């Protein structure tokens, strides 16, 4: 490429991105890629991953390189090495990276024959690169990149030189199996991030620090919400009393809102014969993620999803178009095998409770049902403090319809219903072709938390597979039997992941209506305990969750401990309060608000709870 603009780091022809030192196809329009674009940031991070690999090899010559891609928040590189990387090692690697960057090494792409590439990496003693080349049987030529003495197998593109790789930070080390397979060797994965300028990097590191302070695993332990015990097995959540209060509060709210909207609540067993999942197709296509049991010489399955059970309930009796829509909902626990390496607190588990529902309706009812689900999802998420969302509409691949269940007419009608529902509610969305599951198109709603991070939430999914497999019919107005339209949907997702997300969203400081303890009643001396017990009893009779603290401890210590537990209200009782029949109220985030009558304190807290206010003290 001749005479590119100073701020260009690569160029595009159509959707393909090329290195600046590549000659563009003759007569093709060229679009330059700069660092302030998403593609530019990805190239920067990919090149920084190579810089890190180069620094590692210079410091630790016995290290074996595997892969090092860019990711959404930065980059990583998987390393096979006998030593365990420590924080001091990361600092040394960073220093060496900075030295290499200052040298302004040209990053040059070469295309070599397959045999030459194999010989090159064999000579360099890099067996993982040799294995990757051997796994590309159709590739006659291979692209490699050089910067100084460093050589890597890579498709690119990359930055023109190391000179612009200035603002980076190595973050952590984790274990990772080669190619994600537990049967392979465990490697060390070094994570890092990079940005075009120091300000963006510092802002990102500040967000990471805040995210660490909100980590649901740390707060869950500190606040006594849940635990995972290896004696019972990985990926299984034990809800402690305080955590279970949050869960049950959410479930009661969920039940009430679904009943208001015409759903019927059901409950199905945790296991079923394998025959049910053979009919659904899960046994053949999902068996590696299922737990299969032998009972009385028959196979049973710990259910990986609730839909086949709900279908059995729909099939109990003949359904007329007058019975539709037929909405079944359940907080149903399911079990799925996840590799131990991907388990993560409450966010990635092996047993979880899904807020599941299935709508059986006619084609003419589908659009209205989707709109109603969107309304319910937005209402519920807004109630939990989520206001901003990313919406994706996943549709079929127009160039390869053969892999989908159902007819093209079914798909086009379903996709139009989802699209119109979003447009009716004026919701911006991203349409993604080819990302739909084989059985139907879907809407995914990702909620953005207090730090702007996206969490998987509501899903609205058409299904053209299960109605045919189970022969789900209804009697139409014409007297004929017609296939029902089946819609899977969740509005919260898994309870474990949702509560884990809430812990991080609120940094453990839950709104009063969700808080396990809504008020702490504390006495200054033992003389106030009789009145303190009366206060506790009165507030509990009003339906509030109260915890007494009548210990023989200084009041300052009691207040500090209640603050660490992030309790919304503290009611302090001393001699003056007993004499006046009052309590001195302290409110989380506000502090001491003075003494008030017990009835007034009770009404203020109860109003805050009943209105589901986000902060204590709000009306």
Q: Which residues are catalytic?
A: 307, 336, 354, 356, 358, 442, 488
Contact predicate 111/22, CB 8 Å: no
Q: How far is CA 228 from CA 248, 350, 400, 505, in A?
A: 19, 11, 44, 21
- Phi and psi at 532, nearest 5°, equal -60, -40
Give the number of other Cβ atoms within 10 Å of residue 310's Cβ: 25
Residue 48 tokens read as 């920084």
**280 Cβ partners below 8 Å, 6+ apart?**
307, 308, 311, 466, 469, 470
Spatial CA neighbour of 521 closest among 477, 570, 487: 570
**535 Cβ partners below 8 Å, 6+ apart?**
521, 571, 573, 583, 598
- The Cα 377–Cα 430 span in angstroms is 18
Give the number of other Cβ atoms within 10 Å of residue 242's Cβ: 18
What counts of helices (H) and strands (E) characterise the chain?
A: 18, 31
Could you please report the per-residue DSSP string of 527-559?
GGHHHHHHHHHHHHHTT--EEEE--SS-HHHHH
**93 Cβ partners below 8 Å, 6+ apart?**
52, 55, 56, 59, 170, 190
Spatial CA neighbour of 556 closest among 578, 580, 529, 586: 586
Q: Is the peptide bond before 453 cis (omega within 30 degrees of 0)?
A: no
CA angle 353, 359, 363 (to 5 degrees): 150
Could you please report the per-residue DSSP string of 95-149?
HHHHHHHHTT-B-EEEEEEHHHHHHHHHHTT-HHHHHHHHT-TT-SEEEEEEETT
Q: Is 423 helix (H, G, I), strand (E, B) or coil?
A: helix
**Lookup result for tokens 């296991």:** 271
Contact predicate 505/453, CB 8 Å: no
């Amino acid at each position: 490429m001749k005479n590119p603009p100073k701020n260009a780091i690569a160029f595009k022809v159509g959707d393909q991105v090329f290195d600046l030192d590549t000659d563009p196809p003759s007569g093709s329009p060229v679009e330059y890629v700069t660092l302030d674009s998403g593609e530019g940031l990805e190239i920067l991070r990919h090149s920084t991953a190579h810089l890190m690999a180069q620094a590692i090899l210079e410091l630790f010559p016995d290290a074996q390189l595997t892969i090092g891609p860019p990711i959404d928040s930065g980059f990583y590189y998987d390393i096979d090495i006998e030593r365990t990387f420590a924080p001091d090692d990361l600092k040394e690697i960073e220093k060496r990276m900075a030295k290499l960057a200052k040298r302004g090494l040209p990053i040059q792409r070469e295309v070599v024959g397959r045999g030459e590439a194999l010989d090159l990496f064999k000579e360099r003693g890099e067996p993982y690169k040799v294995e990757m080349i051997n796994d590309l049987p159709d590739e006659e030529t291979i692209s490699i990149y050089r910067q100084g003495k460093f050589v890597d197998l890579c498709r690119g593109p990359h930055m023109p030189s190391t000179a612009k790789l200035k603002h980076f930070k190595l973050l952590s080390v984790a274990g990772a199996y080669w190619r994600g397979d537990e049967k392979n060797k465990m490697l060390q994965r070094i994570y890092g991030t990079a940005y075009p300028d120091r300000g963006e990097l510092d802002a990102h590191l500040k967000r990471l620090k805040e995210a660490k302070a909100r980590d649901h695993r740390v707060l869950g332990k500190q606040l006594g919400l849940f635990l995972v015990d290896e004696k019972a097995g990985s990926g299984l959540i034990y809800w402690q009393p305080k955590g279970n209060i949050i869960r049950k509060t959410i479930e009661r709210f969920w039940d009430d809102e679904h009943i208001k909207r015409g759903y019927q609540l059901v409950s199905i067993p945790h296991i079923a014969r394998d025959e049910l999942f053979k009919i659904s197709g899960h046994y053949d296509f999902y068996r590696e993620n299922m737990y299969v049991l032998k009972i009385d010489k028959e196979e049973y399955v710990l259910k990986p999803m609730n839909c086949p059970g709900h279908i059995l309930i729909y099939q109990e009796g003949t359904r007329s178009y007058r019975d539709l829509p037929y909405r079944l909902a359940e907080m149903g626990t399911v079990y799925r095998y996840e590799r131990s390496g991907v388990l993560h607190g409450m966010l990635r588990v092996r047993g979880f409770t899904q807020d599941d529902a299935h709508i059986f309706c006619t084609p003419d009812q589908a659009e209205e049902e989707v709109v109603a689900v969107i309304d319910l999802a937005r209402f519920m998420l807004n109630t939990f403090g989520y206001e901003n969302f990313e919406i994706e509409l996943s549709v079929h691949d127009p160039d390869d319809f053969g892999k989908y269940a159902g007819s093209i007419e079914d798909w086009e009608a379903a996709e139009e219903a989802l699209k119109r529902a979003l447009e009716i509610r004026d919701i911006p969305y991203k349409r993604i072709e080819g990302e739909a599951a084989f059985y139907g198109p879907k809407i995914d709603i990702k909620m953005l938390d207090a730090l702007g991070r996206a969490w998987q939430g509501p899903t609205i999914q058409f299904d053209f597979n299960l109605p045919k497999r189970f022969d789900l019919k209804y009697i139409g107005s014409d007297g004929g039997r017609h296939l029902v339209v089946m819609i899977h949907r969740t509005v919260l997702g898994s309870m474990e992941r949702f509560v884990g997300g809430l812990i991080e969203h609120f940094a453990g400081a839950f709104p009063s209506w969700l808080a396990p303890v809504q008020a702490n009643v504390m006495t200054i001396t033992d003389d106030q305990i009789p009145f303190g017990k009366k206060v506790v009893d009165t507030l509990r009779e009003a339906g509030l969750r109260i915890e007494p603290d009548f210990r023989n401890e200084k009041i300052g210590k009691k207040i500090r401990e209640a603050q660490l537990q992030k309790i919304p209200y503290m009611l302090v009782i001393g001699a003056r309060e007993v004499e006046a029949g009052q309590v001195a109220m302290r409110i989380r985030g506000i502090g001491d608000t003075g003494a008030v009558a017990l009835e007034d304190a009770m009404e203020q807290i109860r109003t805050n709870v009943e209105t589901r206010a986000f902060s204590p003290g709000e009306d």
